[in-house]
Structure 1
């Protein structure tokens, strides 16, 4: 048994050693520290080695595709309202944006216009459903915490306009 453990020891040390320059927080659990409307759930996801491609469809509405891109990440914050009694009363909002893998793009004073960011409303709500380019607001990363604030730009629709997420180490 001792020989078996000693034989495995180098593999355990290599597996547990930190990778120089790695962003371990991207793969861990994240803690949403901001308020979430009580009638729904909020979720946060980071997609590693991905980038956003923002496109316009034939009706002039924005949509996005996620593409494989080493060294970039796509972060997505989603609010999903709990459904009621009707088939078409579902409601979801999302904020999705791209940054570099170390989140160094999100320094204090970042001009949000330079960040690929969309705000999406998904519901049975005429003239308001779809994605919108985010041109105003603030986004920053410090002390392993991501902060975002955007203005309420969709009248009578927007539930989330800010969030704070602590990224796991």
Structure 2
């Protein structure tokens, strides 16, 4: 075994450990909390995904009284952390259907963002998405193409009707391939 392949193996093991730890931290914070916030103008109670690609399963969660904070690890990779706060955080998860007998075949995409407190706009586009801390996560055994990335290109539309907020997100990632580029959902207020 050459020194180069030994270093490459070590880097892959380190990267895999960071990815596993980040995923565990995120999952711990994604446990739904339904208590209301004094500072929030909206108290959302539940969410429903109304669109999911046929190649997998989807889950949409509403996390109230939370903030989404984007951090960087010691190698400069972005990762989200959900903390107690005064916003509502939306977490969309797509899990691709894979053969359970295949090792390292799991594939997950995540979209996580904070809802605006006042819905002063019905459409958020491109650079406006940064105000919502919107991130795309691609978690798989995909060398060099896994991790979290800010969503910079797309549009998020809101419409309030009869105690529910409907949203539609269309986005494009330039950094990594993606399966999900369109998300629709409704949130009960």
Pairing partner for 2:166 from 138, 145, 151: 145
Counterpart for residue 57 of structure 1: 73
Q: Could you list the runs of 5+ residues in structure 2 that have no partner in the other structure?
A: 1-39
Q: Are residue 37 (structure 1) and residue 64 (structure 2) matched?
A: no
For structure 1, the 5+ residue unaligned runs are 1-20
1:125 is aligned, of 142, 146, 154, to: 142
How many residues are matched? 143
Looking at structure 1, the residues matched to 186 and 154 of structure 2 have their Cα atoms a distance apart, in angstroms, of 19
Matched, 1:78 2:93: yes
Where relative contact order (Cα < 8 A, 6+ residues apart) is larger, the structure is: 1
**TM-align CA RMSD:** 2.1
Q: Cα gap change, 1:105/1:112 in structure 2, threshold over 3 Å: closer, same or farther?
A: farther
TM-score of the superposition, structure 2-length normalised? Answer: 0.68
**Contact 2:98/2:105 (8 A) holds in 1:** yes
For 1:10, the equivalent position in structure 2 comes to: none
- Classify 1:129/1:52 alpha carbon distance in 2 versus 1 (closer, same or farther; 3 Å): same
Any conservation in 2 of the 1:139–1:146 contact (CA below 8 Å)? yes
Please state if 1:107 is matched with 2:127. Answer: no
Q: With the length of structure 1 as denominator, give the TM-score of the two structures.
A: 0.75
| 2: CA distance, partners of 1:37 / 1:47 | 23
Report the secondary structure of 2:130's partner residue: helix
Q: In 2, Cα distance between the equivalents of 1:97 and 1:106?
A: 16
